[in-house]
Amino acid sequence: MTATSERAVGQPLRRIEGPDKVTGAARYAAEYQVGDDLAYGWVAQSPVAGGTLTGVTVDPLVEADDVLAVLWHGNAPRLAEGDDPELAVLQSDRISYRGQALALVVARTLEAARAAAASLQLSIDPSPADTVLSFARDDLYTPEKVNPDFPSETSTGDVSAAFDAAPVRVDVTYSTPALHNSPMEPHATTALWEGDELVLYDSNQHPPGVAATLATLFELPPERVHVITEHVGGGFGSKGTARPNAVLAAMAARVTGRPVRLALPRQALFSMVGHRTPTIQQLRLGATPDGKLTAIDHLAVAHTSRLFEFAEQTAVTTRHLYEAPAVRTGHRLARLDMPTPRWMRAPGEAPGMVGLECAMDELAIALSLDPIELRVRNASSSLLTDCLRHGADRFGWHDRDPRPRQRRDGDWWIGTGVASATYPAMVQPSTARARRLSTGDYEVSIAAADLGTGARTVLTQIAADALDVPHDRVRVRIGDSTLPFASVAGGSSGTASWGWAVTGACRALRDSGGSDEATFDSSDLVEQLNQEGKHAYGAHFAEVRVDAVTGEVRVTRLYGLYAAGRILNPRTARSQFIGGMTMGMGMALHEEGVLDPNVGTWVNHDLAEYHVPTHADIESITAEWLDDAGEGQNPMGSKGIGEIGIVGSPAAIVNAVWHATGVRVRDLPVRLDKLL
């Protein structure tokens, strides 16, 4: 076998499925044509945050011919118990949050399902709703663990004494609002039963995980559930596990004996699929006059639901990013009559770093020390120092006047800000299979999901190099739960995890001396690696201008420099970085679930009123990376890149707004009314 002169890894390959997507040939979960008796589901959601559902009445005036079934807990098939109480849909009369699925209408047409669902009379005994998170609640409690499995509390040294004795101190409280995943492709499922096999075309981040969950709920042998996830139009964490749409569609298909399509409408995404918890964070930092941290104290408050405990790991990054002799971190939770929070891009790290990195900026000001210098003096990793120092050069930090409200251009105040970034480099067990086809080409299979990130393309590059063949001789099959097991497309771990398995299978085939197939399971190898706790690092820089009259904030430059292992495909990697940075900009300036505490819901539950950055908001956004091959990390030398872009970028913008205006906003997002 001859080595190809050009390695595929490192090339800016275009997405293999790109032409299919832009021409409309690519099929998403709600686009499969399955049979001529396809039915449509529409969910009736709870209008109250708590209570009991005593009955559901169908309005006799609604044209009933097209309605095939109205399911609610009074008549829905019983499900077996699973480990996610939110998937026990239509199983109980208890209402735990506003927006909960209370009934499902199945009809011959989408319009009929929607009209019938709107006309249902839901008989409800409401109970008072407790929906507001605050630091002052007397029922805050300390969870035993925070996600995914960290201790809730840590303490090194005597933080109180160290803080009290510190010559320079900052004691501040930051808050971040509820944030919402709202992928362009909504959560959607087309379900059908083929004999006693359940087939789901489902939009998710983990086809084998969804299959296993549905098998449990419907008491099927795992091999009788087949989840097909060919393309996904965004996930961000909200599709990390099976969501109620998958269960409801499967249930409706069983009851009606027809294939059933259920796509959640945009507004339902704001209550039914999980949101990022609001946080309130108290930060106390103590330092010597020359800027060495002596005390770090980070206490984070978040909410969970009545259904189960979701404990976001908000303060976990604070445990390792900077060095100090006394460090204490902790988490408190309130159980609210609200939907359960879930993963949303860098859950924990993203909001937690708003608190830490804004507090670090405040400490730098208190010390009259450059904020980059403060970070460098306390950094726990030389990779972080490299990103800060080189990033400062490339961004053009050096002539910065540290005083706020100094630069003005016409009506605009101008300022710059910086923040550190870090994200754990995780890998999870996965298995891949490689085959030599009769054509001489190769087929590599793994049950991974491509959320639109380019995973399929990068795996093709990895496979080609491991096989020593050009990438156009490799076909990668993903997005199907019946393929060899893949871990979730989450935690920035997909490419590292699947790529490891793909490399193993391809090398085994290459070295097999003529066999046509090889399989590789990475389980034993990844175990040890995760214990070593490696991280990617970065530095974010923002330049903003703030209208002196209206308070409008514009981000004129957003720059990120990363040390994230070997970059396998610079084109798709750049998209991941700037996508995260753009979402970080949303977190700083635009995004906010506005709660109506009486009703227990977010009133801005659509993309007209829940604002995300658009092209018009982005003036200049740049992501670059240092050559950091991540020695010993995995066979590719990569680290995760899906989430680090949103970690720290919001703080860089908030800090830049302070520098422009002299106004310190500690309650995100930075809206213009907070600056005037």
CA separation for the pair 642, 646 (Å, rounded)? 9
240 versus 291: smaller Cβ distance to ligand MOS:
240
Closer to ligand MOS by Cβ: residue 315 or 675: 315
DSSP code string of 80-102: ---S-GGG-TTS-SEE-STT-EE
> CB of residue 427 vs ligand MOS: minimum separation in angstroms?
13
3-state secondary structure (DSSP) of residue 239: coil
Q: CA-to-CA distance for 189 and 229, rounded, in angstroms?
A: 10
Amino acid identity of residue 23, one-letter, is T
Q: Are the CB atoms for 335 and 277 separated by under 8 Å?
A: no
What is the C-alpha to C-alpha distance for residues 676 and 671, in angstroms, rounded to an integer? 10
Q: Exposed, middle or buried by CB within 10 Å (0-12, 13-18, 19+), for 244?
A: buried
Measured from the CB of residue 434, what is the shortest distance to ligand MOS in angstroms? 27
> Toward ligand MOS, which CB reaches closer, 240 or 565?
240
Check if the beta carbon of residue 201 is closer than 8 Å to that of residue 228: yes
Query: Is 525 exposed, middle or buried (CB count within 10 Å of its CB: 0-12, 13-18, 19+)?
Result: middle
Question: Which spans of this chain sit near ligand MOS (rule: CB under 6 A)?
Answer: 205, 235-237, 240, 343-345, 347, 490-491
358: number of Cβ within 10 Å? 27
- Rounded to 5 degrees, what angle do the CA atoms 190, 192, 195 make? 165
Which residue minimizes CB distance to ligand MOS?
237
Residue 491 vs 560, nearer CB to ligand MOS: 491
Give min distance, CB of 574 to ligand MOS, in A: 19
Smallest distance from ligand MOS to CB 147, Å? 10
**Choice between 240 and 355, CB closer to ligand MOS:** 240
Nearer to ligand MOS, 236 or 322 (CB): 236
* Token pair belonging to 220: 């099927």
Token pair for 77: 């098939």
CB burial class (10 A; 0-12, 13-18, 19+) of residue 78? exposed
Annotate 421-475 with DSSP letters as a single string.
EEEE------EEEEEE-TTS-EEEE------SSSHHHHHHHHHHHHHTS-GGGEE
> Least distance to ligand MOS from the beta carbon of 241, Å?
10
Give the burial class of 632: count Cβ atoms within 10 A of its Cβ; 0-12 exposed, 13-18 middle, 19 or more buried: exposed
Q: To 5 degrees, how large is the angle CA 174–CA 615–CA 233? A: 85
Please say which residue, 342 or 433, places its beta carbon nearer to ligand MOS: 342
CA angle 139, 140, 143 (to 5 degrees): 130
What's the min distance (Å) between Cβ of 348 and ligand MOS? 9
What is the spatial distance between Cα 482 and Cα 499, in angstroms, rounded to a whole number? 18
DSSP 305: E
The number of beta carbons lying within 10 Å of the beta carbon of residue 65 is 8
State in angstroms the smallest separation of the CB of 567 from ligand MOS. 19
Pairing status of strand 407-409 against strand 168-176: unpaired
Task: Provide the minimum distance between the beta carbon of 307 and ligand MOS in the complex, in angstroms, as a whole number.
Answer: 19
Q: Which H, E and C letters describe 580-646, residue by residue?
A: HHHHHHHHHHHCCECEECCCCEECCCCCCCCCCCCHHHECCEEEEECCCCCCCCCCCCECCCCCHHH
Given the residues 230, 312, 592, 643, the one annotated as active site: 643
Please say which residue, 355 or 424, places its beta carbon nearer to ligand MOS. 424
Indicate if 31 belongs to the active site: no
Contacts by 504-508, CB closer than 8 A, 24 or more apart = 504/432, 504/635, 505/432, 505/433, 505/434, 505/444, 506/432, 506/434, 506/442, 506/444, 506/462, 506/463, 506/466, 506/467, 507/466, 507/467, 508/434
Sign of the dihedral defined by the CA atoms of residues 201, 186, 493, 512, in that order: positive
Nearer to ligand MOS, 175 or 453 (CB): 453
Nearer to ligand MOS, 209 or 244 (CB): 209
The distance of closest approach from Cβ of residue 236 to ligand MOS in the complex, given in angstroms and rounded to an integer, is 6
Nearer to ligand MOS, 503 or 576 (CB): 576
Minimum Å gap between C-beta 206 and ligand MOS is: 9
Q: What's the maximum distance between 2 C-alpha atoms anywhere in the chain?
A: 78
We find the least distance from the C-beta atom of residue 354 to ligand MOS, in angstroms, to be 16
Nearer to ligand MOS, 237 or 417 (CB): 237
Helices 371-378 and 382-395, interaxial angle, to 10°?
160
Judging by DSSP bridges, how do beta strands 474-477 and 442-445 pair with one another? parallel
Closest separation in Å from C-beta 405 to ligand MOS: 37
Residues with a known catalytic role: 643
